[in-house]
Structure 1
Amino acid sequence: MADFLVPSTASPETDAQHRARGPIHAQRHVRVVCIGAGASGLLMAYKLQRHFSNYTLSVYEKNPQVSGTWFENRYPGCACDVPSHNYTWSFEPKLDWSAVYASSKEIFAYFNDFARKYGLHKYIKTRHQVVGAAWNKRKGGYDVKIEDLESGQIVEDHCDILINASGILNNWAWPAIPGLDKYKGTLLHTANWDDKIDLRGRHVGLIGNGSSGIQVLPTIQPHVEQVTTFIREPTWVSPVQGLEQHVFSAQERADFATKPAVLNKYRKNVERGLNGQFGIFLKGTTTNTETEAYFRQQMAEKLQNPYLEERLIPNWHVGCRRLTPGVGYLEALGKPNVTTVYGEITSISKRGPVCDNGQEYPVDILICATGFNTSFKPRFPLLNAAGANLQDVWATEARSYFGLAAADFPNYLIFLGPNCPIGNGPVLSAIEAQAEYMCKLIDRFQTHNIATFAPKQAAVDDFIAFKDQFMAKTVWQDPCRSWYKARPDGPITALWPGSTLHYIEAMMEVRHDDWETTYSGNRFAWLGNGYSQTELDPTADWAFYIRDHDDDDEPLSRGRRLQIINKSGTVRPEGAVSFTGRDVDHEKEMPKL
């Protein structure tokens, strides 16, 4: 498609005049600003570079390197809880993972190498943090303020489309425990780890039994004098059956590296298994019942301690909190140099935590594995044309459209926003679906004389109502404390009302009737001067629609298109097999709304 320069800052009249001189679907220049160069930001840069021309992209990253949370999280034992061969882009496998659950260093290397391979660093300004954005009423788009973290100076930029790829699990925070600032020992947070601190031979306190704390304990336990771990609530800890930790042998790694069919088969089997787990999250399903029984058995066998079994094995359903493989964690709790303190920490003294049993626990080093701020509010003021700040709009409940946009905030797109499938199944495939959806919106913006696009408030309201109705049938509704929701009895704001495959299918087409679109000038100015893009290409066949064979057009129905995309007919008809080793009958397990 030929480029046709239509200044994005032009007035409606100038825009229409430019388009009148060009062909249909002329590509105006589009300025995109992306916040964050973690996995999502890197993928967006790749997709724009691969599929678009006549655009400008600036990616602002607060860290000195790319890869986001996988650059930041370097604590002992840090790893992903998704099998490593499937924690990659669908089109970009990694051939040399060391184990089923690889370390954060390996994951960082994957995304860093991805950026280098495709030359994405040219779009990225590291050590630059977005501190504000406001809609420009005169010329449209956002005026963006960025702090240069090296100099402390504020620089400004302007974009037609603003993409927030800052993620959800990298805005770390200290726990709100009185007296934390009075502690005289060494204070560490898992998401702000200091590699210079030597834990060997020290008495270490560890606060938290979420994913980070579960990974830290078995890693440091063999090397420290004593660990006192503070746990305030139970959690399910076990790999799903069939996805236990395994270190790949030299022969396995060689086969993965040199035999594409072997690697592809392995990745597909794991992905099918991950997608076959969704029944775990639905109350009353066989998958949930069998998985809970398996987890309960595994935890009891590994703990071998009635006191800990009573306090650590939950009475709420498996999956209410994010599932954690917990390699070596339960076994570590039983080691002679590990003391488990169950209950609330009421304060921190200068020597260590003070608990609700009235006892003080002095420690040399105190590690806070206490997670992140997961409120979904932007980390900077984001103002729309009416002056409303999205931070205020989402202060009590974040309400998005399909996890990627907010009503009344035009030309603003979000990766992993509220109610996207961040815990429903494979997450990177969901990020790919979001990136492709965004590209469709950007393509339409670029080839039409669109001024603004944003989801309608009515569409967001209906989506949230449907989501809330669906969630009542899920384990996420149980009264557990989870970052999936702001409070144990609150609405579920982090998860999609369905499986990851469900989300991918929902995102295949843009439902334009859910979007409020305004135009610069006449809405049909994009029709241009009467010429097609085909006529501008001397190498194109100007009679491409005349054929001497059967109709080979793309199917016109959604159902037929989906059958081609999902390769219907290539897998045995009995259905997917979950990692519990049985066939999954999704229709029987589907909750009735």
Structure 2
Amino acid sequence: MKGNPIRSERPMRIVCIGAGASGLCFAYKLQRSFHNFNLTIYEKNANVGGVWFNNRYPGCECDYEAHNYTYSFEPKADYSRVYASSTEIHGYFEDFARKYGLHRYCKFGHRILSADWQDDLGVWRIEGEDQNGGTIKAECDILINATGILSSCKWPDIVGLDQFQGVTMHSGAWNESIDLTGKKVCLIGNGSSGQQILKSIQPLVSQLTVVIRQPTWIFGPFGEPQREYSNEEIQNFKNHPTSLTTKRKQFESRVNSYFEFCLKDSPQQKQIRGHLIHQIQGKLAAAGSTKLDESAVIPSYGVGCRRPTPGVGYIEALTSPNVTLVVGHVNKITATGIIDNANVGHKADILICATGFDTSYQPPFPIRGVNGKNLQDEWRERASGYLALAVPDMPNYFVFYGPNNPFASGAFLITIEAQADYMLKMCNRWQTENIHAFSPKKEAVEELQLYLDTQVAKTVWSDTCNSWYKPKGNAVPASLWPGSGLHYMEAISDVRYEDYSIRYKGSRFAWLGNGLSQVETDPECDLAYYIRERDDGTYLGQRKRLQVATAGTRLKPESLHVFGPRPLNEDAV
């Protein structure tokens, strides 16, 4: 580096594991802003899309308005309906990858089996296998884990699961060749997937037994009701992009105003609870059924402790004549069905487990860092990282949506963008300085975890409920960011380098180079670029920067109301 201009870019090799929303976002941003890099994305599936490639169960759709389930900078004007199907969302990511040439970085059908840090060389050694059983061996300077927390199906731990002689399926690995028409089906689970499956298959099957551990809060549509967009609307979005931007900003502003209802005993929590009870009771009355008790559909825990669901058509399906609801658990699975916790048997031809994913944050393969520490072991009892991004003793390593992420309070794809920006700031320092290794300090992570635990105790996520936010149950605090999504994005907008342990190769000042600036060596650069007519530079104070970046017209308070088509009012409480 000493023989080159200041901050010259050395070659940078990056391996990213996973070509879902996170991996694609990282690849796009890396390609947009960097030179002199080599990127390889290893993806176990046959195409991009991650969770939206895998999930194909009946009724699978996003419960976030489709126009807002996009990257902030990449709208999709031709979404066909308010809440897009998994197929349409997968198409969005496939189109995104094709538009920006991201497939060139991807190796599909490649499963990583291990990653080992070589401290003397300052590199990660990756091993795996391809779809033909061949061996993968690679080295990289920086390792990005973009496998996600909704990628490994979690099967229920029930005695006799392997003894069932009918068809067994998981919502995250659906067998599309199975015809459910006229079959007796047992469905375990009532999260978003379980409710969508229930609504879709209830009219098809002859008998449906639904098993739930506890009720979940039903919100109704998280935005406007589901409907198809007209051709006129789609053309308007295409021809007048500002109209689509306005729509997206209105929805996002509403969502970003909801965090206070996540605080225990807050007026907002009381208000939303009353509103939802009122709504659910209305649905029960409209269904006109006496077979469903309120306790089966109205939770006792705070709104938000477990992820709320839209629940459109859920109560109507539960009250159908061919549906039997079991509130409790499955004691045993037999060759021909299940036995519930009241020792009642239920026959089934097909068993569907809508039981979610392994959200313990333990990586699906060994990741061994300093002194061979395996992240699988380090996170066996409890996962703890730095700002949901990095881990002590795991040098030059980042993870998307690691422990203590804002999954319950932030817009998923927008947070991914913020995390990718953070990672690339560190990549820039690695590439333009002679850094050997960087990782967050253990004491910084321990102090951060103590703060987060203290804060999460003030939220509804500390209530007693069965939630995938709590992979180890209620004995361990929920693994969530105890603030809003906007709060999290602001927290990671700048890198606190003092929280990192940084080691260099040789002199830490070798990056100063040969005395020339980058500008002097580029024939296209203006050697007097700093001369200007007015001060239009970046503001240096955090608050001033935010004021400029976020300047606009905020929605009126009455527009920032609870999910659903009508605002809260006193008679709804």
Question: Normalising to structure 2: TM-score of the pair?
Answer: 0.95
Query: Cα deviations across residues 256-288 of structure 1 (Å, max 9, x unaligned)?
Result: 232212111100000001101111211122322
Secondary structure of the 2:438 match is strand
1:291 is matched with which residue: 265, 268, 272?
272
Query: Which position in structure 2 is the counterpart of 1:509?
Result: 494
1:415 paired to 2:423: no
Q: What amino acid does structure 2 have at the position aligned with 1:557?
A: G
Task: Work out whether 1:520 is the aligned partner of 2:505.
Answer: yes
1:573 deviates by 8.1
- The 2-side partners of 1:205 and 1:582 are apart by 38
Q: Tell me whether 1:544 sits opposite 2:529 in the alignment.
A: yes
Alignment correspondent of 2:51: 69
Q: Within 2, Cα distance between the matches of 1:582 and 1:367?
A: 37
Match of 1:128 among 110, 113, 125: 110
Asked whether 1:348 is paired with 2:333, we answer yes
**Where does residue 577 of structure 1 map in the other structure?**
560
Partners of 1:435 and 1:170 in 2: how far apart? 19
- Residue 108 of structure 1 and its aligned partner are, at CA, apart by 0.6
SS at match of 1:33: strand
Residue among 195, 200, 212 paired with 1:219: 200
Going from structure 1 to structure 2, the CA distance change for 1:450 and 1:478 (only over 3 Å counts) comes to same
Residue 553 (structure 1) aligned with residue 537 (structure 2) = yes
Greater alpha carbon shift after TM alignment, 38-47 vs 482-491: 482-491
Alpha-carbon spacing, 1:72–1:159, altered in 2? closer, same or farther (3 Å): same
Shift >6 Å, 4+ stretches = 572-576, 580-583
**Contact 1:189 1:368 survives alignment (8 Å):** yes
Q: What amino acid does structure 1 have at the position aligned with 2:96?
A: F
Using the alignment, how far apart are the partners of 2:212 and 2:38 within structure 1? 49
Partner of 1:8: none
Match of residue 249, structure 2, among 268, 271, 278: 268
Residue 465, structure 1, aligned to residue 450, structure 2: yes
Structure 2 unaligned runs (5+)? 569-573
Q: Distance in 2 between matches of 1:579 and 1:573?
A: 14
Letter of the 2:81 counterpart: A
CA distance in 2, matches of 1:220, 1:572: 40
Aligned to 2:360: 375
Counterpart position of 2:171 = 190
Over the aligned positions, Cα root-mean-square deviation in angstroms equals 1.8
Structure 1 residue 575: Cα displacement: 9.7
Q: Give the structure 2 partner of residue 23 of structure 1.
A: 5
Cα distance in structure 2, aligned partners of 1:579 and 1:442: 40
2:571 maps to: none
* Corresponding residue of 2:228: 247
Name the structure 2 match of 1:153. 134
Residues 88, 428 of structure 1: 8 Å contact kept:
yes
The AA in structure 1 aligned to 2:169 is L
Give the count of matched residue pairs: 563
Instruction: Say whether 1:35 aligns with 2:17.
Output: yes
2-structure distance, mates of 1:67, 1:507: 25
Unaligned 5+ runs, structure 1: 1-18, 584-593
Q: What SS does structure 2 have at the residue aligned with 1:191?
A: coil
Shift of 1:155: 1.4
Deviation at 1:299, TM superposition (A): 1.6
State the AA in 1 paired with 2:560. Answer: V
Q: What CA distance in whole angstroms lies between the structure 2 residues aligned with 1:312 and 1:522?
A: 64
1:82 aligns with 2:64: yes
- Give the secondary structure class of the aligned counterpart of 2:293: helix
Which one is further off, 302-311 or 253-262?
302-311
**d(CA) in 2 for partners of 1:308 and 1:286?**
28
Q: Is the 8 A contact 2:41 2:107 kept in 1?
A: yes
Conserved 8 A contact 1:303-1:333: no
Structure 1 residues 290-318: Cα deviation after superposition (integer angstroms, max 9, x where no partner): 21112112222223456431222111111
Match of 1:406 in 2: 391
Aligned to 1:231: 212
Q: Deviations over 1:479-536 (max 9, x none)?
A: 0011111344233353112101111111111111111111000100000111110101
- Distance in 2 of aligned mates of 1:243 and 1:418: 31
Q: Distance in 2 between matches of 1:91 and 1:242?
A: 21
Q: Is the 8 A contact 2:58 2:200 kept in 1?
A: yes
Matched, 1:338 2:319: no
User: Do residues 441 (structure 1) and 441 (structure 2) align?
Assistant: no
Give distance in 1, aligned partners of 2:319 and 2:79.
30
The question of whether the paired residues in 1 share the 8 Å contact of 2:221 and 2:312 is answered with: no
- Counterpart-to-counterpart distance in 2, 1:492 and 1:47: 34
367 and 573 in structure 1: CA distance in 2 versus 1, 3 angstrom threshold: closer
Answer whether contact 2:459 2:482 (CA < 8 A) is retained.
no
Q: Which moved more, 1:157-166 or 1:271-280?
A: 271-280
Q: Distance in 1 between matches of 2:320 and 2:469?
A: 32
Does 2:100 correspond to 1:115?
A: no
Q: What does residue 364 of structure 1 align with?
A: 349
* Whole-angstrom distance in 2 between the partners of 1:357 and 1:572: 51
SS in 2 for 1:20: coil
